[in-house]
Amino acid sequence: MPTALITGASRGVGAQIARALAPTHDLLLGGRGSAELDTLAMELDGAATFPVDLTDHDSLEAATEAVTSLDVLVHSAGVASSLESVADTPADEWRYLLEVNLIAAAELTRLLLPALRAAGGHVVFLNSGAGMRVNPGWTPYAASKFGLRALADGLRLEEPSLRVTSVFPGRIDTDMQRDIVAIEGADYDPSKFLKPETVAAAVAHAISTPSDAHPTDVVLRPTGR
C-alpha cells in the first residue's frame, strides 16, 4: 500500500484523517510523543508513530532521514491565535504562530521532497478559512495561514511531478475550537461547526482523486445542521 505521513495525528482532525486513510495507506502518525499518539497507533493496527516536535529542526531532520519514499504528506498540525488585535499582539506571539503553522510545514516538506519526488507524491495542507480572509482579532493567525497558502501555491508550481492540495475548512468542532469559543465568551454549540470526520473525508477524497486530475483547492463551510 502507499504510505502517508500525517502531522498533528494525536487528536482532532489529524486523528480522523488517519482513520480515513487507514484502509488504503500504511500510516506514519506524526505528533509529539504521547499516550494519545500511541493509542491511535494501536487502534489503527499496523500504523507507526513519527514522534517528533516539528519546531525542533535538528530532530526533524534526523526523523526524516529514514523516509526514502512517501506517497502522501498531510500537514494537519497547527495552533490557534490568542485572538488579540494587531495593537496588542507581541512579537513572540507572531513568531510562535509563524513557526508552528508555517515554518514547520515548510521545513518538513523540504526535508521530505526527495521521498515525495521518488513516489510522485501528494502534499495536502490543512489550511483554514483564515487563509482566505482576515477577521478582526485574527490577523496573526491569518498571516500564518496566508503564508501556508503561498507555500502550497509555490510548491505546486515548483514541483510539477507532485500534486499539492490546500484544504480551507471553516470552524471545526474540536477541543481547540472550544478554547476559542471560551475566549470569545460565547456558548459552545457543536452544530455550528464542521465535524472533524467531515474534514477528514474531504482530505481522503482529494487524495483518492484519480491521477489525471489535480485537486488544488478544497473549500468547506459549515451548514449549521
Dihedral over Cα of 113, 114, 115, 116: its sign: positive
CB 151 within 8 A of CB 109: yes
Active site residue 141: yes
Cell of 176: 481547540
Cell of 144: 500564518
Q: What is the 3-state secondary structure (H, E, C) of 112-132?
A: HHHHHHHHCCEEEEECCHHHC
Residue 167 to residues 1, 43, 75, 149, 190: CA-CA distances in angstroms? 24, 26, 10, 9, 21
What is the enclosing helix (H) or strand (E) of 29?
Answer: strand 26-31
The active-site residue, picked from 50, 125, 138, 141, is 141
Cβ burial 173-189 (10 Å sphere, 16+ → b, else e): bbebbeebbeeeeeeee
Q: Which residues are catalytic?
A: 141
